Amino acid sequence: MIALVLALLSPIAGSPTASFLASPVGVLHAVESNAPRGVSAPASSTAPTRDTPAAEAPTPADRAFAAEQARFAIELQRELGATPGNVVCSPTSLARALAMARSGAGGTTASELDRVLHLSADAGARFAALVRLFEAPEIGPKKERRPAYALELATALFGQDGAPFEPESLRRLRAEFDSELRAVDFARTEDARTTINAWAAEKTHERVKELVPRDVLSVDTRLVLVDTVHFLGAWSDPFREANTKPTPFTRADASSVDVPTMHGTELRLYAETERAQVVELPYQGGTMAMVLVLPKPGRTIDEVVREEEFATWTKDLSTRRVEVALPKFTFRFGAELKPVLTKLGMPMPFDLGAADFRGILRERLAIGAVVQQAFVAVDELGTEAAAATAVVMVRGAKSTAQEEPIVFRADHPFAFFIRHRPTGAVLFCGRVSDPSARS
């Protein structure tokens, strides 16, 4: 099993990545098309670093907020642990979408959202600050500078045409989440669903084509809050395609399947805990990285995620020579998250008779559904990941290079995380139980 976390940026206007992001492509070919002509991928590694200089450094408040969001990511991952098969989700997309709803909440509704999502009083401003910090550093020769990775984050409000939305709420959502209200008629349910899904598909480069399933919207729907993230990054030290070969992967039920597995020995940031091995694979630019968490013999990935914290895996990372064997994988995952969020401790926002979102609309509102769809692909050159979240609101009821390399062989279920290294923000999380499965 793999748990995945990915940090995503705001769109990079006019970037060289725009051409290959215009249409969905595999990670391998997408990253190749992004590489400047005549510039080859690095053949060998230098000692990895935790941070690279950025235009804006994270403040203590930024780091504290990101740490709380990482806690939410792990708590969400634990609740999704009972879901069979592969899992990938974006806790950042989920938290941002629900934080937009939180901006108009009051009373117990607001306090439950704050507690479960680990939101501070200034959550909107803190999310906006993180988006600025996520901006990709530029790399390459002086005359061929380009963003190190492509990362896009977007939000939108789809509201019932003519509904009395509070102007102050709309102003705040525009300022803090760059979100504009788009009028739709939920009485024409299928037309509204098509409009929302088309917007999400465009923002995720067709990786999420049907965010809102049938029968989720109704004539009682008043507002749908949507958040999307899309990431495309190349490894700092790509795996050689010639070294990829079929290798047995042992599933959680002890059955085995041969899967294409990448192999490479480089200097990596590595750590061990009582229950797991941890290795970090950086993307170009050094500010984004995937953290892989592999249970030790006799342990399961669900046990590791349940008993340890994300900070435990990253606080003692140090440079070691590591022999990594990592399966290639591509899959999608989707879920209706109301049961998970209720179990985490926020039933009130879903209570048609008691939820308080009067700061958004001059009618009683409650959350009717929270859906997320996500996609991830990992190959020799890098990673593509995308997610979209919809919050549907309805009318309420009245070391040295010469050392022997450490072997990190991901041949059984494990967890992976993609994080923004300067802040520690965790934006996607998931699980791979069977790399050969596509869903």
Instruction: Provide the percentage of residues in the chain whose pLDDT is more than 70.
Output: 86
Mean per-residue pLDDT over the chain, rounded: 87
Q: What is the predicted pLDDT for the residue at 397? A: 65
Q: What is the predicted pLDDT for the residue at 108? A: 97
Q: What is the predicted pLDDT for the residue at 339? A: 96
Q: What is the predicted pLDDT for the residue at 13? A: 28
Q: What radius of gyration do the chain's Cα atoms show?
A: 21
User: Tell me, what amino acid is at 362?
Assistant: R
Instruction: Provide the percentage of residues in the chain whose pLDDT is more than 90.
Output: 76
Alpha carbon dihedral 110, 116, 122, 123, in 10-degree steps, equals -120
Q: Is 352 a residue whose pLDDT tops 70?
A: yes
Alpha carbon dihedral 146, 430, 426, 118, in 10-degree steps, equals 150
Which residues share a beta bridge with 338? Answer: none
Q: CB within 8 A of 144, min separation 6: which ones?
A: 36, 39
Q: pLDDT tens-digit profile of 6-52?
A: 332 222 223 223 333 333 334 434 433 433 222 233 333 333 433 34
Range 231-257 average pLDDT: 96
49, burial (CB in 10 Å: exposed 0-12, middle 13-18, buried 19+): exposed
Contact 349, 366 (CB under 8 A): yes
Could you please report the per-residue DSSP string of 85-137? S-EEE-HHHHHHHHHHHHTT--HHHHHHHHHHHT--TTHHHHHHHHHHHTPPP
pLDDT band (50, 70, 90) for residue 415: confident
Q: Is 56 a residue whose pLDDT tops 90?
A: no
Q: pLDDT tens-digit profile of 204-241?
A: 999 999 999 999 999 999 999 999 999 999 999 999 99
Q: pLDDT tens-digit profile of 117-166?
A: 999 999 999 999 999 999 999 999 988 999 999 999 999 999 999 999 99
Q: What is the predicted pLDDT for the residue at 44? A: 31
> Cα separations (Å) of 280 from 55, 188, 324?
23, 48, 10
- DSSP label at residue 189: H
Task: Take residue 102 and report the two structure tokens written for it.
Answer: 């939180």
- Integer Cα distance of 360 and 223 in angstroms: 9
